[in-house]
Structure 1
Amino acid sequence: MASLFIGSFQTPSFPVAADFSPLKTNSHAIVRVLKCKAWKRAEKHFYPEKHFYTSVKLHKQYMTQEHVGSSDGSIIAEDKKLKGRLLVHASSEHSLESQPSKSPWNSVHDAVDAFYRFSRPHTIIGTALSIISVSLLAVEKFSDFSPLFFTGMLEAIVAALFMNIYIVGLNQLSDIEIDKVNKPYLPLASGEYSMQTGVIIVSSFAILSFWLGWIVGSWPLFWALFISFLLGTAYSVNLPLMRWKRFAVVAALCIFAVRAVIVQIAFYLHIQTYVYRRPVVLSRPLLFATAFMSFFSVVIALFKDIPDIVGDKIFGIQSFTVRLGQERVFWICISLLEMAYLVAILVGATSSNIWSKYFTVLGHAALALLLWTRAKSVDFSKKTAITSFYMFIWKLFYAEYLLVPLVR
């Protein structure tokens, strides 16, 4: 209803100054009338009249609704919309007032902030930590910490981060309408980035990732990037036989394959076979990391949809949360993680290395207790509380990669 008031209005027949002039009771009031008339002349000179008269009519309409519709909930809702539109018009039409210009520093800050949100930093941190952790599993003695090791690990991290930005960016390009409901703060959903800008960023980082993987010359690294590219594309793109995120099981398998298998095994082989030139050996710590992160990847795949239930329902994404409900999926995730921590404690207890035994048992026990304590305090009626807990799950994910190299 309020939108009908915006657009082409006829010039009102009443004098404009009548709506703005105060009661002429003293000299101050007379000055204000003169200022209002001067403002009218300036407005006609600098701006199209239709914008000025639109604001006048909006103002009259808003005042009418505020007094007439206060008892009707729907009218009040329209009243708020109209008031918001009035404020927008007023602010745009009073641009004759001095406004501070944006400094170059503010522009740079805004650009960095938009890209920071676009890149989904929690996934960036998770990818970097996982590669560092898995690379350390290939270290057998102190002399293995050579410039060659750090160079190989850095090459893997940079190439993987480029691919990570491609995957999360492509997902945002495919989900703009959904993100307007679930994540309106993302640059594409908020309008900070145009579709063209998003396509350029995503394409550039995919090319950079493959270029770096190719010039490095490591086949485990290149295949890790290529498989991640295929799964990330099939997960998001709305093409025939694709957009696998619509199907809960397939979506979970995609995240499982990337986070639990590719990251663990491919990047380990990159260090083991390409950097150290050693034969392929699937060590006990590597098998533990792969198994544990399998649980964690499934939990992340399930949990990421819990805060997004509203948008997923609207756009027909049949996630487990949409099918089973938020609270039920939440406690399934908690149960899976607690089981994983219990297995990790048992693995640590059977270690022949004393310091490894203490660190892995105590570390996983502490994380399991922290998870359970935090889970019991979540308020399911607040999306912010659920989203905050999802970020807490990622922090546990980071903490696990600090413990994985200690498993011996």
Structure 2
Amino acid sequence: MNSPPPSPADDAPTIWNSPAMTRRLRRRYAAERRFRLIGMAAVALSAAFLAFLLITMVAQGIGGFTQTRVTLPVDLAAAELPVEPARLKGRGADLALAGAGLEHAVDGAATLAFGADGTDLLSPGAWIVVRDAVKADPTLLRGTTRFSLPVASAYDVAAKGEGTPEAEAVVARLKARGVLSTGWNLTFLTDADATDPTRVGIWGAAKGSLLTMLVTLALAFPIGVLAALYLEEYAPKNRWTDLIEVSINNLAAVPSIIFGLLGLAVFLGTFGLPRSAPLVGGLTLALMTMPVIVIAGRNAIKAVPPSIRDAALAIGASRVQVIFHHVLPLALPGILTGTIIGMARALGETAPLLMIGMRAFIAAPPQGLTDPATVLPVQIFLWSDQVDRGFIEKTSAAIIVLLVFLLAMNGLAIYLRNRFETRW
């Protein structure tokens, strides 16, 4: 029995060159092109925002790495300082020069060279440069020496094109005399905080950040990895385990200031640990970083194929040997990547550290985990609140240093992932 011929309606979906199908394909391809253009626009917009951030920070902060100096002849022999060159050796040199009138000798030389307002031209810490030079070479006390001394903040800013008209006029006169110069400000990288923007440095905050991160890593990494191993390999699947997993996921999303309140109540209020110490800061940030490490560790352990475990168990390996000889080495790249990303987040945190008192004025770098200290984000916050315009460029310069730290940590995470990642 012959079947009836197909109707035109039945043939329509199979006719790819029909006008209806052509319009449908045209709309489909147009939607795909629009989606690709939207994706490219999103990437370009993100790159533009990042470029704007970097260019703005570099433009505003590059001046923080330079310093304006004035050449000043100082006749230390005429000053007749009551200091014997023999006493300028060893640790007693600072004490010997502290009350010798060296600061007045520098002010007198500035008045002689630049007039009655010459002392206002120099930075309040300019005499420290002379003190350090005398300590290095006591023979300078016997004659006249030309020193290159930092100028006051107002004239330093004016020399970089952002000062008041009066300060810019003074700078123009000094440049015409050929006594003004600009050089790298190495003290910004080697000194701690100060009240004078021409003498501030980031080393104290950078060292505080380093000590705080060491405490955070020493606590959060082993505890987080062991917790991830237990939850993924040993923990029974019941409602208590589900409750723990939900709690860990929620802790990873808790605002950081809550951890600061927890550190304030527990570590300072209950245990009485020293305020503003890297030890307390590291403990607080470890609480914040640990959930991130646990989540990243569980995902990395879960990505190891079950066949690895089965093969190791089949040849007689114990459960501990399977985990530490096979599973953990294969999951380590992912664990390290998550750990470094969590540490990078902790490095940029400010709110929890403000709650535990790490916003104090620290004029000397910390020597241990219990010494008063601050960290780079808090130092940036403190400088941004200053009135002196000289702190503006120092704030941007400190942001550049912090961004370099963060980019280095993220680059390390990418390297570890590409270096040790195993593809299945």
Tell me which protein shows more strand as a share of its residues: 2
TM-score, normalised with respect to structure 1: 0.25
Q: Which has more radius of gyration?
A: 2
Bigger fraction of residues in helix: 1
Higher relative contact order (CA 8 A, sep 6+): 2
